[in-house]
Structure 1
Amino acid sequence: MRPSASHYAGGEYNRPHFLDSCTLCQKHLSQNSDIYMYRGNAPFCSQECRQEQIEMDEAKEKRWKISSSKRSSSVRQSKDSTTEESDTNKAVRTGTVAVA
């Protein structure tokens, strides 16, 4: 049996149990209803709420990967331009060398 959000015991209020409400819409989860879990400890009232959270997480991960690749790309470009600058400052002799 899950304690309710206002469960009072021993002179203190206990925190609500993590299965008391839907992670996304905060709808109360009753003991006689299905609970849809995602990523271990995130309860949802319906497959739709869970799917919406999954899609939001995937979009966030995609944005993170894109911004991460842009950052690493700009670091590579910065290193490349530094290399090009140092290469243009070097003097190179061309010609024939004869060794006796």
Structure 2
Amino acid sequence: MFYCGGCEDQYEEPHFLEACFLCHKPLRPNTDIFMYRGNTPFCSKECREEQIEMDEAKEKSWKRASKRSVRQSDQTNTNSSSSSSSSSPNKTVRTGTLVVA
């Protein structure tokens, strides 16, 4: 039980096993609780599977977006170096091998 800071009221913080994470259906005593990723409770295998599928889809989306972002960054860097060398004809670019002993 917790006490309200400036008042005399008491309240109980809800327990994480009170309701299904997905459908919010109350979890009853003496029934199976299906757990996922630590302490995330579900009322049924179906709810848990649906959450797993949503998480996997979200992760795939993030990975695709991340790859796309990296590719765009690489293209931007390539384009900016190409355009800067062509737009500034006064710059000298030296290429070759440097050996330091």
Taking structure 1 as the reference length, the TM-score comes to 0.74
1:97 corresponds to: none
Distance 1:57 1:20 in 2: 22
Which residue matches 2:47?
A: 49
- For the pair 1:33 / 2:31, whether they are aligned, the reply is yes
Mapped to 1, the partners of 2:85 and 2:9 lie a distance apart of: 75
Residue matched to 2:63? 65
Tell me which amino acid in the other structure corresponds to 1:84.
Answer: S
Query: Which runs of 5 or more structure 2 residues have no equivalent in the other structure?
Result: 1-7, 93-101
TM-score normalised to the size of structure 2? Answer: 0.73
Partner of 1:3: none
Q: Give the structure with higher Rg (CA).
A: 1
Question: 4+ residue runs of structure 1 moved beyond 3 angstroms?
Answer: 86-92
Give the alignment's Cα RMSD to 1 decimal.
2.0
Measured in 1, the distance between the counterparts of 2:89 and 2:56 equals: 48
Q: Which residue of 2 aligns with 1:74?
A: 72
The percentage of aligned residue pairs carrying the same residue is 49
